[in-house]
Structure 1
Amino acid sequence: MTAAAVNAGFTGIDPDGPAFLASLGGLVAGSGAAVDAVLPGRPAEARQMCGALLRLLRTDRIAELRLLRTTAPPAGGAARDLVPDPDCAARIRVTDTPIPEVIIVNGRAALVRCGVAGARRASLVHAPDVVRTLQALFSGVWRTAVPVEGPRQGPAFELSEGAYRVLRQMCTGDTDTAAARELSISVRTYRRHAAEILRVLGVTSRFQAGVRAMELGLLKSGTGGPAH
């Protein structure tokens, strides 16, 4: 069963696992997508969805991946078991807040699935107001969810002192030239530090670096640089 009908920004799609994930492949058609996903509560389906998302991440079709796992019974295994590679760039958090099973791509479209076996429904949502609501719901739950490995402090101590200064300056919105002048360094040095920040924080844009730095508490007052 393929896309059934479009009605006010909703397209009915097949809720079956492989078909549902095939719809995801259609949404992530290019490269560098930002994807937020709520994994299914059923362990087998969670592993299937997670595997598909990680394959897209490894092939650079997804550049940023946030996975939200709802609290599952012990038989479902630990959330960290879904991402076996410790160097995987995906971030995963666990929550006990009820939230629909959804995959949001670039904040512009979403796949939503609900119901139980035998009576499940799935939709591709492209109504801007609805997608914005789903994104706001995901972001709100994400902020209060618990990181699988606890707070990630490692990257903070890998940044050089010069990179810390550049990180703060990056968040002012100044041009590279103005920011380098403020720090009394060359534009080339400023950009080298900026590249280091993106690498260490595991992101692909300066905007993402700012968000990640906030999550890690690197921009809080009193956070001055690497520990000595």
Structure 2
Amino acid sequence: MNGGFTGIDPDGPAFLASLGGLVAGSGAAVDAVLPGRPAEARQMCAALLRLLRTDRIAELRLLRTTASPAGGTVQDLAPDPDCAARIRVTDTPIPEVIIVNGRAALVRCGVAAGRRASLVHAPDVVRTLQALFSGVWRTAAPLGGPLRDPTFGLSEGAHRVLRQMCTGDTDAAAARELSISVRTYRRHAAEILRVLGVTSRFQAGVRAMELGLLKSGGPVR
């Protein structure tokens, strides 16, 4: 292990074997982003559902992205109606990750021979991954439902503050630039953290970029 990261085999069966080691007990809470490749998504989904049915996983949230170049459908991933797993679909790109109890994560990235995977125990990194997952989950649609608006309904004032937050200016300088009071600026900043489901302004910036909220002429409500 190096600084809370351990390299692991990215191969499907080996990757899922690492998951089995993380949920060796019972009652784990697991959040997982399914792979973009349909065959791998089905394999991971089946493995997670087996762990759920044997009570090694108590709570399971599965997130499927439609932004994958591999395409494919998500309907065949739906579990039995009596299964406690929840599946949502998003068009927001998000790394392939499995988070266990908010304390450890398996991350896999890359394609073909360049694929890499890591077991992550670094608390700050796991918290950031959890915040990213939770933020995307909030705007994702239930399987079979329409995709939700990723703007979270942020007001025009909040969008202006969000963009200004990412400049690195002090609160006082940013408020002057927007012609608002520091108190109003900080109120909008607190709203942004709450709505995006993050705990720091840095995380808010990362989350906003993931959602495309910082693009010129981006969505404003």
Per the shorter chain, which TM-score range?
A: 0.5 to 0.7
1:89-120 per-position Cα deviation (integer Å, ceiling 9, x unaligned): 11000011110000000000000000001110
1:80 deviates by 2.9
1:161 equivalent to 2:156? Answer yes
Structure 1, 189-198 or 45-54: larger mean CA deviation: 189-198
Unaligned runs of 5+ in 2: none
Distance 1:83 1:170, change over 3 A: farther
Task: Report what 1:136 is aligned to.
Answer: 131
Q: Is the Cα–Cα contact under 8 Å of residues 92 and 211 in structure 2 kept in the other structure? A: no
> RMSD value over aligned CA atoms?
9.6
Structure 2-normalised TM-score? 0.64
Q: Is the Cα–Cα contact under 8 Å of residues 157 and 227 in structure 1 kept in the other structure? A: no
1:165 deviates by 40
Distance 1:179 1:34, change over 3 A: farther
2 CA distance for matches of 1:178 and 1:58? 55
Structure 1-normalised TM-score? 0.62
Matched pairs, number: 221
Distance 1:61 1:202, change over 3 A: farther
Distance 1:196 1:28, change over 3 A: farther
1:123 equivalent to 2:118? Answer yes
Q: Is the Cα–Cα contact under 8 Å of residues 39 and 46 in structure 1 kept in the other structure? A: yes
1:100-142 per-position Cα deviation (integer Å, ceiling 9, x unaligned): 0000000000000000011100000000000000000000000
Unaligned runs of 5+ in 1: 1-5
1 CA distance for matches of 2:135 and 2:166? 22
Task: Report what 2:218 is aligned to.
Answer: 225
Distance 1:138 1:192, change over 3 A: closer
1 CA distance for matches of 2:127 and 2:194? 29
Instruction: Give 3-state SS (helix, strand or coil) of 1:104's partner.
Output: strand
1 CA distance for matches of 2:69 and 2:112? 21
1 CA distance for matches of 2:42 and 2:192? 31
1:196 deviates by 34
Distance 1:183 1:85, change over 3 A: farther
Q: Is the Cα–Cα contact under 8 Å of residues 156 and 220 in structure 2 kept in the other structure? A: no
Q: Is the Cα–Cα contact under 8 Å of residues 14 and 20 in structure 1 kept in the other structure? A: yes
Aligned match for 1:67, one of 62, 68, 71: 62
1 CA distance for matches of 2:172 and 2:26? 29
1:83 deviates by 2.4
Q: Is the Cα–Cα contact under 8 Å of residues 198 and 209 in structure 1 kept in the other structure? A: yes
1:152 deviates by 14
Distance 1:56 1:213, change over 3 A: farther
1:156 deviates by 27
Aligned match for 1:58, one of 48, 53, 61: 53
Q: Is the Cα–Cα contact under 8 Å of residues 94 and 146 in structure 1 kept in the other structure? A: yes
Residue identity over aligned pairs, in percent, reads 90
Distance 1:225 1:57, change over 3 A: farther
1:81 deviates by 1.2
Distance 1:206 1:124, change over 3 A: closer
2 CA distance for matches of 1:61 and 1:98? 29
